[in-house]
Amino acid sequence: MYNKFLGTGEKGYHPLRKIKVCLSGLRYAVHYDFSVAYKLYMSIIILIICFLLRQWVDFVMIMAATALVLIAEMFNSSIEALCDFIETHENFKIKVIKDISAAAAGISILLWAVIMCVELFHLWKIMCG
């Protein structure tokens, strides 16, 4: 892909190539990062239940929360991998960068967990009562 700022790469815009790269990155994240995989699978199960029960607002809310947590987890994993690649020895500045990245992911996980609990409780009430 051509980078107009650096003047590197291949010229031409290929949306299918971008989609392929996106799916490849998601596949890699799910395959190698357990924190991404279990959140995605849990969300898919709840999304299927919401879809079958035609709870569209719940469906969209869970989808948005899942997207947010997956984005945060993948950025966190990328930042940690990049930091480990740049500096293999213990470094206080790298530790601070990784801690900030983990905090951002932690906040999104907390939001995701709250939304999932609320939605599970709501779905439980619908299915049992």
Per-residue pLDDT tens for 35-58?
889 999 999 999 998 889 888 888
Q: What is the number of structural domains in the chain?
A: 2
What is the pTM assigned to this prediction? 0.79
C-alpha–C-alpha distance, residues 62 and 55, integer Å: 11
Q: How far apart are CA 116 and CA 103, in angstroms?
A: 20
Q: Which residue type is seen at 88?
A: T
Please indicate, yes or no, whether residues 54 and 101 belong to a single structural domain of this protein: yes
At 79 the pLDDT is 95
Q: Are residues 39 and 86 in the same domain?
A: yes
Domain, as residue range, for 114: 33-128
Residues 25, 39: one domain? no
Residue 14: φ, ψ to 5°: -130, 95
Same domain (yes/no): 100, 44:
yes
Considering the domain architecture, whether residues 10 and 65 belong to the same structural domain is answered as: no
- Does 41 lie in the same domain as 98? yes
| 44 lies in the same domain as 89 | yes
What are the φ/ψ torsions at residue 87 (nearest 5 degrees)? -130, 110
